[in-house]
Amino acid sequence: MFSPIPDCPIYLAPMAGVTDKIFRQLCKDEGADVVVTEFVSAEGIFRRNERTMRYLDFDTSERPIGVQLFGAEPDHLGEAARRVVEWVQPDFIDLNFGCPVNKVVSKNGGSSLLRDCPLLEKVAATVVKAVAPFPVTAKIRIGWDRNSINATTTAKILEDAGIRAIAVHGRTKEQGYSDVADWETIAKVVQTVKIPVIGNGDIRCATDAERCLKMSGVAGVMIGRGAMSAPWIFREIKHYIATREILPPPSLEKRWDFIKRHCRLAVEHGARGGEMTTMHSMRARLTAYSHGMPGARVLRQMVQHVSTLAELDQIADEAIRNSTTDFADGGK
C-alpha cells in the first residue's frame, strides 16, 4: 500500500453533495481511515471559483485525504492535478472514471472513459507524469454496460500508467445504483494487478465488509451510502475485524446526538447560506439517517419539513419518546 495509507484501509467513498469537510471529519471521528473529497472538475480548477476552492478545503485532521478530479482532457487534468498538489497538498490525487451522470459522461468524463481505453490510458499517464512522484489513484466501475465489462483491462492499463491504487465499484455505468454489486469481478481485478485494489459497492455492515475482503481479496474497502445512514459503520467494521464481535448499534439517543451535531456544524460552518437554507439542504441527509430507525416512515415525512435546528430538536425528542412504541413499519 502506498504511504501513508494504512494496511486494510476503510475508505469513505467520495460522494458529491455528501462528503463535504464536515461529514468527512465526522466519519474520521467514527474510524474512517481514508477520505476523498467530492469530485472536482478539472475545468473548475482553472476557473478557481469559490465553490471549487471550497471542494478543495480540508483540515489536516482528515489526512490521509485524496482530492478527486474528473475531466476528459488529459493535459487539463494533468495541469489541474499539478495545481491542486501545489495549492493544498493532499495525500493523493484520485481520478474519477466511474461517474455515470449524464452531465459528466456527455463531456467524455467519468465512466465514459471506460469505453475509450486509449483516452483512459492517456489521462492516467498524463496526470501521473504531471505530479510525479506524487501518488495518483483511480476509481472505476466494472465497465460501461453488461456487454462490455472490462475492469481487468482498465485496471491493467491504469497500473501500467503508474496509478498506485484502484477503487472498483462493482457495477457498470448502465446499472447506475441498481442490482447487486459484483464483487466477483472485483476479485478478478485483484488477481490481475499488483497494486492495491479497494472494493466498493453494497457494503452496509461489518459482516459485508468482512465478506468483501475475504471473497475478493481486496486490500481495503470503501463505503458510500452505508456511511450516509450509519457513519459509525467504520467503527463497527474495525471492531468486527479485530474481535469477531458485532458491536450493538448506537442507542437512539446517541444517533440523534450525532445527527444534531452534524446539522449544527453544517449551520455553523456550512457555506450553504443561513440556518433555513442549510437545514433545507440537510433534509436528504436526515432522510438517509432515518433509515433503520423505529418509525422511519413517519420520520422521513417529518424531516421533509424541517427548517431550523430547534425543529430538529423537537423531532429528535419526539422520536426518542416514541421509540418504546411498537412501530408498524419496523424501521423500514
Residue among 71 and 224 whose Cβ is closer to ligand FMN: 224
Please measure the distance between the N-terminal and C-terminal CA atoms of the chain and give it in whole angstroms: 39
254's grid cell = 446517541
In the numeric block, which cell numbers belong to residue 160? 501500467
99 is catalytic: yes
How many angstroms separate the Cα of 66 from the Cα of each of 39, 162, 178, 194? 10, 16, 27, 21
Of these residues, 27, 99, 212, 263, which one is catalytic? Answer: 99
- C-alpha to C-alpha distances, 110 to 106, 229, 309, nearest whole angstrom: 9, 25, 37
User: Please, what is the minimum distance in Å from the beta carbon of residue 203 to ligand FMN?
Assistant: 5
The grid cell for 28 is 474520521
Minimal CB distance to ligand FMN: which residue? Answer: 224
17 vs 133 by CB, closer to ligand FMN: 17
For residue 308, which amino acid is it?
T
DSSP annotation of 149 reads B
Name the DSSP class of 38: P
- As separate numbers, helices (DSSP H) first and strands (DSSP E) second, the chain gives 15, 9
State the Cα–Cα distance between residues 143 and 160, nearest whole angstrom.
Answer: 18
Reduced to 3 states (helix: H, G, I; strand: E, B; else coil), residue 69 is strand
For the bound state, the minimum distance from the C-beta of residue 16 to ligand FMN, rounded and expressed in Å, comes to: 4
Closest distance between ligand FMN and the C-beta of residue 317, in Å? 29
Angle between helices 309-322 and 296-303 (to 10 degrees): 170
State the nearest-atom distance from the C-beta of 318 to ligand FMN, in Å.
28
Q: Using CB under 6 A, list all residues that contact ligand FMN.
A: 13-18, 38-39, 68, 96, 98-99, 139, 169, 200-203, 223-226
Shortest Å distance, C-beta 13 to ligand FMN: 3
Q: How far is the CB of 201 from ligand FMN (least distance, A)?
A: 5
> What is the total residue count of the chain?
332
Tell me how crowded residue 303 is: count the other CB atoms within 10 A of its CB: 23
Q: How far is the CB of 187 from ligand FMN (least distance, A)?
A: 17
Which three cell numbers, joined as nine digits, stand for 104?
459528466
Geometric angle at alpha carbon 164, from 163 and 167, rounded to 5° = 90
Looking at the Cβ atoms of 157 and 298, the one nearer to ligand FMN is 157
Show Cβ contacts of residue 64 under 8 Å, excluding neighbours closer than 6 positions.
4, 5, 33, 34, 35, 91, 92
What are the phi and psi torsion angles at 207 (to 5°)?
A: -70, -30
Catalytic residue numbers read 99
